[in-house]
């Protein structure tokens, strides 16, 4: 599961804009005044708010028929002064003790949340399910908070066994269980039900670099020390939150910056090196996104991936334009080549 802290940042910025100038808010799906010419937009319906999540849904994942697990970063105990208003840096969800929560469990039937206690900062973490349904969250951000404190989450492993009766709580290993610090790692489930944890950096960085890079991978449940991966050294600087998809072969497709490989994680072998995607870097910072397309019998279940968006990023920094291209690659074609297309809007962190 990939997430982006930018979502939280953008949400905060948007909140600021909305508070400062409510008249500027637009309803993009207003049937009387559709902003786009396509008739599909007019038929798209309207969003209705039916509940509150208590914390920002930096990560949100369906646990079972009744519950959604929501994870934010630690935000409490300080007040951020803005030019026109004061934004308390604290979540709505609180415990009886007065402490703010940064994780909740949302009930789909009651449309209510239950605050869940975390000890470590889950900002910039990753997560995935074990084969038995237990959710694992790995890595995160620095120690933070003024009134109350969250411990550093760089090396944390957090475990949540889903339930429907409000009894389940997080179990956390703040450090010492994961081999390396991981800020912006990626997690992917393996065929045996364990998870693969890859990459990240040892602390928050604007761009990843030699000094902070975590060019390794490891497993949970642990299979021993983290294993060095040269690919993550070679793909600096734009290699955080690498895109990883499990393939029908049991191998992994791993993409970072503009390069990708098919990797056998149990044997630590690169099975195949694929061509670089044309254009800009696609992984963090200024990242695009990726999806494994549906596997179809017509072509013998070839695994095809789509990578969309990104930015000129590093070279142009804030002035860099977002990328309006999607690349599509058939990983099973003998001469795999990226097919490039454009979509309607350039998208950064889609």
The CB-of-129 to ligand NAG minimum distance in angstroms stands at 10
Query: What residues have CB less than 8 Å from 215, skipping those under 6 apart?
Result: 199, 228, 229, 230, 231, 232, 233
Name the minimum Å distance from CB 194 to ligand NAG: 8
Q: Which is nearer to ligand NAG, 133 or 278 (CB)?
A: 133
Min dist CB 170 to ligand NAG, Å, is 13
Tell me: does residue 134 bind ligand NAG (CB under 6 A): yes
Task: Using CB under 6 A, pick the residue from 142, 161, 175, 202 that binds ligand NAG.
Answer: 161
Of 120 and 201, which CB lies nearer to ligand NAG in the complex structure?
A: 120
**Smallest distance, Å, CB 132 to ligand NAG?**
4
Residue 64 Cβ vs ligand NAG, minimum distance, rounded to whole Å: 11
Does the footprint of ligand NAG cover residue 250 (CB under 6 A)? no
Stretch that binds ligand NAG, among 127-135, 176-184, 199-207, 232-240 (CB under 6 A): 127-135
User: Which C-beta is closer to ligand NAG: that of 193 or that of 278?
Assistant: 193
Q: How many residues bind ligand NAG, per CB under 6 A?
A: 6
Shortest spacing between CB 133 and ligand NAG, in angstroms: 6
Give least dist CB 131 to ligand NAG, A. Answer: 8
Does 49 sit near ligand NAG (CB under 6 A)?
Answer: no
Using CB under 6 A as the binding rule, whether residue 132 contacts ligand NAG is answered as yes
Which C-beta is closer to ligand NAG: that of 177 or that of 203?
177
For the chain, what is the HEC assignment?
CCCCHHHHHHHHHHHHHHHHCHHHCCCCCCCCCCCCCCHHHHCCCCCCCCCCCCCCCCEEEECCCCEEEEECCCCCCEEEECCCCEEEECCCCECCCCCECCEEEEECCCCEEEEECCCECCCCCEEEECCCCCEEEECCCCCECCCCCEECCCCCEEEECCCCCCCCCCEEECCCCCCCCCECCEEEECCCCCEEEECCECCCCCCCCCCCECCEEEEECCCCCCEECHHHHHCCCCCECCEEEECCCCCEEEEECCEEEEEECCCCEEEEEECCCCCCCCCECCCEEEEECCCCHHHCCCCEEEEEECECHHHCHHHCCECCEEEEEECCCCCCCCEEEECCCCCCCC
130 part of the interface to ligand NAG, by CB under 6 A: yes
278 binds ligand NAG (CB under 6 A): no
Single out the segment in contact with ligand NAG by CB under 6 A; choices: 57-65, 126-134, 252-260, 311-319.
126-134
Residues that bind ligand NAG (CB under 6 A): 130, 132-134, 161, 221
């Amino acid at each position: 599961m990939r997430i982006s802290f930018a979502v939280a940042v953008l949400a905060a910025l948007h909140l600021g804009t909305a508070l400062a100038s409510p008249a500027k808010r637009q309803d993009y799906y207003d049937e009387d005044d559709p902003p786009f010419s396509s008739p599909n937009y007019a038929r798209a319906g309207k969003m209705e708010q039916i509940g509150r999540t208590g914390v920002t849904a930096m990560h949100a994942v369906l646990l079972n028929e009744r519950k959604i697990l929501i994870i934010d970063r630690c935000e409490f105990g300080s007040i951020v002064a803005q030019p026109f208003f004061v934004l308390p840096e604290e979540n709505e969800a609180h415990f009886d003790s007065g402490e703010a929560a940064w994780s909740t469990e949302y009930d789909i039937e009651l449309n209510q949340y239950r605050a869940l206690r975390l000890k470590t900062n889950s900002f910039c973490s990753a997560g995935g399910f074990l084969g038995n349904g237990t959710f694992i969250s790995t890595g995160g951000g620095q120690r933070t908070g003024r009134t109350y404190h969250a411990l550093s989450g760089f090396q944390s492993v957090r475990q949540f066994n889903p339930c429907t009766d409000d009894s389940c709580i997080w179990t956390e290993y703040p450090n010492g269980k994961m081999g390396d610090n991981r800020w912006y790692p990626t997690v992917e489930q393996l065929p045996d039900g364990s998870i693969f944890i890859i990459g990240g950096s040892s602390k928050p960085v604007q761009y990843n670099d030699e000094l902070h890079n975590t060019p390794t991978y490891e497993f949970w449940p642990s299979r021993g020390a983290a294993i060095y991966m040269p690919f993550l050294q070679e793909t600096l600087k734009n290699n955080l939150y690498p895109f990883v998809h499990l393939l029908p072969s049991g191998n992994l497709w791993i993409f970072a910056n503009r390069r990708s490989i098919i990797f056998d994680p149990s044997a630590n072998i690169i099975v195949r090196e694929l061509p670089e995607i044309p254009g800009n870097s696609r992984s963090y910072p200024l990242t695009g996104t990726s999806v494994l397309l549906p596997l179809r019998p017509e072509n013998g279940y070839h695994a095809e991936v789509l990578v969309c968006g990104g930015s000129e990023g590093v070279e142009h920094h804030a002035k860099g334009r977002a990328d309006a291209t999607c690349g599509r690659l058939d990983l099973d074609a003998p001469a795999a080549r990226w097919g490039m297309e454009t979509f309607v809007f350039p998208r950064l962190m889609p």
